[in-house]
Amino acid sequence: MKLHELRPNKGAKHRVKRLGKGESSGLGKTCGKGNKGQNARSGGGTRPGFEGGQMPIHRRLPKRGFNNYEFRDQVAVVNVSHLDKAFEDGAIVNEDTLRLAGLVNGRCDAIKILGQGEISKKLTIAVGAVSASAREKIEKAGGSIESAA
């Protein structure tokens, strides 16, 4: 295959809608925007949630109660299949080694190992939490789980 033979997939590209190219084009004169009005203007239209001057629903409804969203714990999850790919046999898996391997990024309060996939390497796991299925698979492969210090 050569560079000049590359083509986008069938249906991946659409024709550009060419506006204002004569009345017979079907999109001439008003360019599909109708006649006059707010939506015919450049930059026209309203912001999301605008209800024509009526008090918007997000302001009409009462706000009550407590939401824990901003105080929740950020838990980074890693599957055993990812551990199998990223680490050598006999390696120690903790937060630092997971970050070096690129399996955990950004801010997190805890790391949890989940049991999706298979593991064949003997690893020593030292993270905050391990699911029951992951624990079973790690111990079956000859690995061990330590409590994170």
CATH number of this structure's domain 75-145: 3.100.10.10
| Average pLDDT per 10 consecutive residues for the chain, totaling 149 residues | 95 93 92 93 94 95 91 95 94 95 94 95 94 95 83
- Angle CA(51)–CA(56)–CA(60) in degrees, nearest 5? 150
Mention every residue, 6+ apart, whose C-beta is less than 8 A from residue 108: 74, 75, 76
Given this model, what pLDDT does residue 148 score? 63
Residue-range domain boundaries for the chain: 75-145
| Residues 100-133: tens digit of each pLDDT | 999 999 999 999 999 999 999 999 999 999 999 9
DSSP, collapsed to helix, strand or coil, labels residue 131 as coil
* Report field, pTM of the whole predicted structure over 0.85: no
- Single out the residue of 134, 29, 8 nearest to residue 83, CA to CA: 134
